[in-house]
Amino acid sequence: MSLSLGNPVPDFTATATGDTTVTLSELKGQQVVIYFYPKASTPGCTTEGGDFRDRKDAFDAANTVIIGVSRDGIRAQENFKAKQAFNFELISDKDEAVCKLFDVIKLKKLYGKEHLGIERSTFLIDSEGKLAREWRGVKVKGHVEEVLEAAQALHAG
């Protein structure tokens, strides 16, 4: 199943930090930013999460919920969230169900060895639950500002 712009994103439920469960359909009426990152507590992922944290008030003003996702276990996600003072929840997707739904597991190379990992990607879902924008192969610098601008424009109608 592949996602396409303007179409509904299939519902999912996943375990998240803060002893919570995220169910996409329960967020209807709000815009949702779901961003996928390779690994908790690594430099790029820490920077990206910090950029979202620092702009959360602006996302809130645009009626937009932020959710981070990686394959890290819930304890690693809780530690990452606490250490970085993230003000949004992180999904632990060890079984890759959410990653597969958004097709973010890609063949990557590290030190000449190939492995499957998360391609840094972000998705903006409108208040009706439809995919409004997607960013794949994201470079961290300036990315969150671009996502925020898109969320604000979508919210403004």
**Active-site residue 99, yes or no?**
no
Question: 45, 67, 90, 138: which one is catalytic?
Answer: 45
Task: Give the global pTM.
Answer: 0.95
Secondary-structure class of domain 13-18+27-156 per CATH? alpha beta
Q: Are 8 and 25 in contact (CB under 8 A)?
A: no
Q: How far apart are CA 110 and CA 114, in angstroms?
A: 6
pLDDT tens, position by position, 17-70: 999 999 999 999 999 999 999 999 999 999 999 999 999 999 999 999 999 999
- Would you call 47 exposed, middle or buried from its count of C-beta atoms within 10 A (0-12, 13-18, 19+)? middle
